Amino acid sequence: MKERLTKLITVILVCVLFAGLLAGCSSSGKGDDVATDTKKEEKTTEKKEDTESAAQTEESSGVVEINFPTSWVGVSSNTEWFNDRLAAFNEQYGDKIKVNVEEIAGDQAYVDKMKVLYSSNSLPDVFSTGGYNLIDSMKDQLVDITDYIDEEWYNSNSEVCWDVNSRDGRIYGVPYSRQVIGYFYNKDLFAQAGITEPAKTWDEFFEQCDKLLAAGITPLSMDTADSGWVTSLMLGAMIAQTEEGEEFMNTLQPKDYNREDFIQAATMIQEMFQKYTTADAVGGKYENAASNFFMEETAIIANGPWMVSDFYDENMVEAGFAEKVGTAMFPGGVMYNSGKIGFNFASKTEEKLKASIEFVRFLTSEESQKKLLEMTGDIPSNINVVSDQVYPLINEVIENGNKASRNINDFQSLWYANVVDEISVQYPLLAQGEITPEQFADALSAVAKVN
């Protein structure tokens, strides 16, 4: 009996001890969890406090930071201009706005990067694609800035520049440059033919061609190779002499060229090839057309202001040639006067958006655009900008663009690539009378419709 009691007491003591150990273990685990949770809360609080502290630091400093990736680096023609303008902006606004610049070399690499950022909904505060249209594909993440563009800012820029940066009457981009193209003519050769000023209508234009021929002067530089750039500029200008034609020449990727205005223009082009140009025009490249004008073998060439510097290059022309050259709008007051996509915005806060707009307003000011013209040769979107630091002929081209009554975009920018290629196939046939203007229109339509 005594032994049994002793064993029972021993068992009870062991059980009590074991229970105590279990309770201790249980208590210890709970305590560790509480400690871990406490540490997590402390870290979360510290992180929140750090974020708030950083925000308070930026707020207290009064400096708003914005992100601006740019391809205006390295060998880009705009690098020097951008660096100059950025330094000037920092000097004036550095105590208010900090621009974090990310350099991305190459236009295509830049566009590809914007597409990646768009896919992750992380577009920068402000960006500029150098004319590449990302508005239509990214509009849902871009800021509608219509209400931030005041009347003075709007009126200082060409209407065509706002048009290309707008969708459904709302503005999504701020323009800074445009393309302006008319034609150049040799004033001396005009004088020899008794012509005092450029033609106002296409009927008058052809009359002047006849006068030049009568004076022994070939009127026109033309080409067919490489899309027939010079010739096609004339073609587009002829189409655009009516409101409907102007609309067609501003249409993206048309598929039907079987139009009365297009066929009429093709008829005029056929006549030009057969009567008013050089023998090497059929099959010839732009270089042939330009050389004929430089050598004073022709009196007229259609092209943009980038050609002006060649008029002063004595490796290409005789000394004093530039003084003989005049500029003109195409008959009917038509000019290739088309805006480019400018600066787009994707700021996530009102504060950053306002800072971004302030930055862009500085880059598109009259002073900045004047420097753009002088340093890069780009034609400013601002209609008030000219400069005595550039060739006078460039200012004349700009003025013609500002006065034009019909404004169109060039065919290479709007038509399908295979249509542009097909032009070089069909022009020689049209020139030599192997196809009719109607068949020319049919051929381009057939190619366009495979897209």
Is 34 a residue whose pLDDT tops 60?
Answer: no
Mutual orientation of helices 417-431 and 437-448 as an angle, nearest 10°?
160
Shared-domain flag, residues 419 and 307? yes
pLDDT digits (tens, 9 = 90+) for 364-381: 999 999 999 999 999 999
371 & 427 share domain: no
Q: Are 317 and 345 within one domain?
A: no
pLDDT digits (tens, 9 = 90+) for 249-262: 999 899 999 999 99
DSSP H or E run through 343: strand 341-345
**Per-residue pLDDT at 39 exceeds 50:** no
Let me know whether 288 and 274 are in one domain: yes
Dihedrals phi, psi of 130, to nearest 5 degrees = 65, 35
> Is 134 found in the same domain as 77?
yes
3-state SS, residue 378: coil
Average pLDDT over residues 200-212: 98
Question: What three-state secondary structure class fits 183?
Answer: strand
β-strand pairing of 97-103 with 64-70: parallel
Q: What is the pLDDT of residues 41-55, one digit of tens each?
A: 444 444 444 444 444
Residue 185, SS3? Answer: strand
Residues 397/391, Cβ–Cβ less than 8 Å: no
Per residue in 404-425, pLDDT (tens digit) is 999 999 888 889 999 999 999 9
Residues 417 and 310 in one domain: yes
Structure token pair of residue 260: 């009365």
Q: Encode pLDDT of 326-369 as tens digits.
A: 999 999 999 999 988 899 999 999 999 999 999 999 999 999 99
- Asked whether residue 327 falls in the same domain as residue 364, the answer is no
Q: Say if residue 223 is in the same domain as residue 312.
A: yes
DSSP annotation of 362 = H
Number of structural domains (the chain) is: 2
> Residue 13: is its pLDDT beyond 70?
no
Residues 347 and 316 in one domain: no
Which domain, by its residues, includes 298?
180-337+403-448
CA distance 315 to 60: 61
| ∠ CA 166-181-446, rounded to 5° | 75
Same domain, 331 and 375: no
Residue 274 falls inside a structural domain: yes
CATH of the domain at 220: 3.40.190.10
